[in-house]
Structure 1
């Protein structure tokens, strides 16, 4: 690995493909998959918990809120701290917290213990996401969108696998079956410890410094314009994750309520939707690198509106098809939004990553709680009809500064 880092990393195309850098990027993406696979168990086993603990939709929403808010509030603080004082082994420590929450979730005797388990999983997420996003940028070689998408697709893949594994591992065994997922979590701790060793030895090397500097934009924007752009990005995150909360938390209930499918069938549908999310995530970053983040944001948020409006009126077959389209299109936005925000506030990668990851988690949690209460008061079908209009907030993308000329750089000359 050391020899690969000794090679030049002066061009945008070299660093992500060089052995040492790409192995680190692949390692954190793999651990992102393990981390989010475990975290995806929580919404996947809601039907089991609802039956075992006699929960209503409001309590399910509050369980999600506990996890999401814990992660949301701590992520900016964790990112700010590691910007100032990098801690190479914080990633493995964060996944250790996830492991504790997972084990407690498997043996929790009451709803209050479930809340504590969810909060421990949230703490693990709060530590993992901003620091791993900072590491992804560190080894990106300037292809920031590609690196963030590659990192993100690991998490989305894990989120897609989680419900499928829950259907075939947890569902037959009940709540105690969750303990089986301690095995991949321990594997993640080991891999992240090795990543921590790499960071400790190489974060000050010239190759890493060139990778961080590559493609950094020197913007001539006032603080007012930067704040306005960040405010628009926050609104877009609200639109995306409030809508996604209706699918990730209540899609199984929607399918069961409207089409009377089995729990296992509903979880398979959820897996297919989350797999589409993972596929769409991988596309958004590289396209943003090539054509500009703003175009990706336009298409991803506003472009999904016709499909969300159709979804509540479709039959089971077309519900599956539309959910695939929605998942694929809307998921391409986050990497573009995150890198756009990082370029607006250079030098604060961890903090900005923590703010946007944290806000995304927070909106997911608040959305789950609000929509759960609304579903109790009305119906889950009404919730889907109402949420269909949320992507219209994508019209705000028109107020973002046009940074595309700064993204478009001449192609690097081949190495001699």
Structure 2
């Protein structure tokens, strides 16, 4: 059992962190294939927006409900080779996705892909901390930026490899799943060596780390963080699931062009993620959270009322600012409960995915009933919930 979660190295282990970032990149690239191929499935299988939302809900629930359970399980019984096991589920799901011929097969495929994600995120987040050498913000940002980069590459590769040739070409992405398993091998060996080190020194393994806040204040802070996640991921769901449809409907762009504009937004999220962690190390996580969510509001409120060029520019600004919040939120939560890294990572990744899934289903129904533009007129106000960040305790003062 890993209780102390002390980094096994005194200096940051960049080779392991780079491998983790690449693994996260490949994993999230495969995950993003699902939403990037929605227009193709919508046309081929004559799906409604409500059914698109249902597919997203099934995927997100698989990728969210299992995450805290996986995190809690591996907190108690760590397995060195858990990452390749999870990626094997993703591989099977992607191959099924390529050949699904009806809604139920499609939902089963995305469910299996989601299980792979539910293993990777809490486990890779734990190993990221162990390899951080104390530079947690930098390490988490390196890990997270891999995911954001992968999420941005997925739609681009779909536009290049799948959209012109048909959705059966989704099977090509199985090559990336195999590559991810190969990249994970040195990570697993490193983690196995760490676990063996703990077995030889049980006193270290059982050492508890003090919490910075009382149990009551810890619970209060976690509730605030979950509200912020709620705000962030409802708005993110409107962009990742329906941005292409919005651009096609409002500006008459092609499917391929819409996916390229989605790529611009997702690249911005990668840049913002890379910035958020190190800045949080220097000025405090609370202030990064405060600025990143509330600071998105002016851009989100303006975006539904401008032309195509400014829509793309504003979506880039939204992605850059809003994405810097998640590394800071996750690290803040991990610092609240330093002995439950897997559980906390799974809870926050899982809650984020779950909110995104439910939001996608609700927004899909809204788009069917009131039109796709109504989605952005309503969701534009969600970043204003960032005001609740004011109530977060300052952990730097609490620890000082």
Q: TM-score, normalised by structure 1?
A: 0.90
Aligned: 1:262 with 2:254: yes
Per the TM alignment, residue 404 of structure 1 is displaced from its structure 2 partner at its CA by 2.7
Residue correspondence of structure 1 range 25-44 to structure 2 within 5 A = 25-44=17-36
Per the TM alignment, residue 346 of structure 1 is displaced from its structure 2 partner at its CA by 1.3
From 303, 317, 326, the equivalent of 1:311 is 303
Which position in structure 1 is the counterpart of 2:237?
A: 245
Unaligned runs of 5+ in 1: 1-7, 409-416
Per the TM alignment, residue 108 of structure 1 is displaced from its structure 2 partner at its CA by 1.0
Give SS of 2:296's match.
helix
Aligned: 1:287 with 2:318: no
Per the TM alignment, residue 205 of structure 1 is displaced from its structure 2 partner at its CA by 4.0
Aligned residues of 2:212 and 2:395 also touching (Cα < 8 A): no
Give SS of 1:77's match.
helix
State how far apart, in whole Å, the 1-side matches of 2:114 and 2:211 are. 35
State how far apart, in whole Å, the 2-side matches of 1:101 and 1:220 are. 41
Unaligned runs of 5+ in 2: 1-7
Which position in structure 2 is the counterpart of 1:413?
A: none
Aligned: 1:236 with 2:231: no
From 344, 354, 359, the equivalent of 2:346 is 354
State how far apart, in whole Å, the 2-side matches of 1:404 and 1:259 are. 47
State how far apart, in whole Å, the 2-side matches of 1:26 and 1:226 are. 32
State how far apart, in whole Å, the 2-side matches of 1:220 and 1:35 are. 33
State how far apart, in whole Å, the 1-side matches of 2:176 and 2:399 are. 38
Per the TM alignment, residue 220 of structure 1 is displaced from its structure 2 partner at its CA by 4.7
Cα deviation code 1:123-143 (max 9, x no counterpart): 000011000000000001111
Q: Where in structure 1 do 4 or more consecutive aligned residues deviate above 3 Å?
A: 203-206, 216-220, 405-408
Per the TM alignment, residue 203 of structure 1 is displaced from its structure 2 partner at its CA by 3.5
From 40, 48, 63, the equivalent of 2:40 is 48
Aligned: 1:170 with 2:167: no
Per the TM alignment, residue 202 of structure 1 is displaced from its structure 2 partner at its CA by 2.6
Residue correspondence of structure 1 range 3-402 to structure 2 within 5 A = 9-10=9-10, 15-16=11-12, 21-205=13-197, 218-402=210-394
Cα deviation code 1:340-389 (max 9, x no counterpart): 00011111000000000000000110111000001101011011010000
Aligned residues of 1:29 and 1:151 also touching (Cα < 8 A): yes
Aligned residues of 1:294 and 1:404 also touching (Cα < 8 A): no
Aligned residues of 1:292 and 1:407 also touching (Cα < 8 A): no
CA RMSD of superposed structures (Å): 1.7
State how far apart, in whole Å, the 2-side matches of 1:161 and 1:221 are. 40
* CA 251–407 in structure 1, closer or farther in 2 if over 3 Å, else same: farther
State how far apart, in whole Å, the 2-side matches of 1:51 and 1:160 are. 23
Per the TM alignment, residue 198 of structure 1 is displaced from its structure 2 partner at its CA by 1.8
State how far apart, in whole Å, the 1-side matches of 2:338 and 2:125 are. 14
Give SS of 1:172's match.
coil
Aligned residues of 1:290 and 1:407 also touching (Cα < 8 A): no
Which position in structure 1 is the counterpart of 2:4?
A: none
Cα deviation code 1:10-36 (max 9, x no counterpart): 4xxxx22xxxx2111111110110010
Per the TM alignment, residue 193 of structure 1 is displaced from its structure 2 partner at its CA by 2.7
Per the TM alignment, residue 82 of structure 1 is displaced from its structure 2 partner at its CA by 0.8
Cα deviation code 1:171-206 (max 9, x no counterpart): 012111100111111011122133212211234548
Per the TM alignment, residue 219 of structure 1 is displaced from its structure 2 partner at its CA by 4.3
Q: Give the total of aligned pairs.
A: 387
Cα deviation code 1:285-305 (max 9, x no counterpart): 000011100000011000111
